[in-house]
Amino acid sequence: MKRIVFLTALLMGGLLISFQMQAQWKYEEYTNVLNGAKSPLNTGDTLTVSDTLLQAPNAKPTVIAVNEIDNIISMAFNEPALYGATQLPDTFSITVSTSISVLQTDGGTVSNTTRDFTIVYSKNNAYRRSDIFYFNNGRRVKIQITGISASNIDVNQAKTIIVLTNDMRIDRSYTTDCADCAPGAFNSYVNNITDNRDTLLVSWPANKWAKAYDLEEVGSS
């Protein structure tokens, strides 16, 4: 028996498809870490993150806006070190002094500030495991360690149990061309099924904006 299958596929994007051009939100994150467990932190070490579009704004021509940039710098105590081979004191504190350089626009003026990050550990009391510095709109952020000091713990050991993190989170809006996102019939299939498997392989072009593909209205005759 000859069977002809009619198919209609709908490409489901992030938004309802009602216009040819639409805006889509995208969240990006860039992170760089100095981990004392891998390599002891030292004065002079640097940690930089940068927005990839700072010097190449045309690399992603579909970007229509940078809505928000969140910058988070943190120094934390590497808690797994508590269970390592080296015994730690019951109480101690560590301070990492830094200089922070922030660039907001390509070719703009670099802003500089200094900040000390301190953690205080106590075996028998609640303690703060991290010290966080939060600000906005830094598109290139460079941290340089200017000093490391410790109390009640050897400073060389302290350098191996701290983690310094430079994190950038960017919220952008993109323009999407949805000319090919509308519902439509796809004819990439064989009209005749000659065996008894009752299956039919269908395909359609990939759409980079689609999060899912929904196959609608399958029929046979």
Phi, psi of 58 (to 5 degrees): -90, 5
The strand pairing partners of 176, in sequence order, are 22
pLDDT at residue 24, rounded to an integer:
53
Domain boundaries defined on the chain: 5-19+181-220, 21-176
Residue the block writes with tokens 């994007």: 13
Closest CA to 78 of 33, 112, 47, 46: 33
46-64 pLDDT, tens digit each: 999 998 887 666 666 667 7
Q: How far apart are CA 56 and CA 48, in angstroms?
A: 18
pLDDT digits (tens, 9 = 90+) for 119-170: 999 988 888 889 999 999 999 999 999 999 999 999 999 999 999 999 999 8
Decide if pLDDT at 16 tops 60.
no
> Which residues 6+ apart lie within 8 Å of 156 measured at CB?
40
Under 8 Å between Cβ of 181 and 17: yes
Q: What is the pLDDT, as a whole number, of residue 183? A: 55
21-176 topology per CATH: Jelly Rolls (2.60.120)
61 secondary structure, DSSP code = T
Task: Return the percent helix, strand and coil in the chain, to nearest 5.
Answer: 5, 55, 40
- Report the pLDDT value the prediction gives residue 1, as an integer from 0 to 100: 37
**How would you class 47 by CB atoms within 10 Å of its CB: exposed for 0-12, middle for 13-18, buried for 19 or more?**
buried
Contact between residue 64 and residue 173 where contact means Cβ atoms under 8 Å apart: yes
Tokens standing for residue 44? 């002079």
CA distance 126 to 129: 9
CA distance 107 to 102: 12
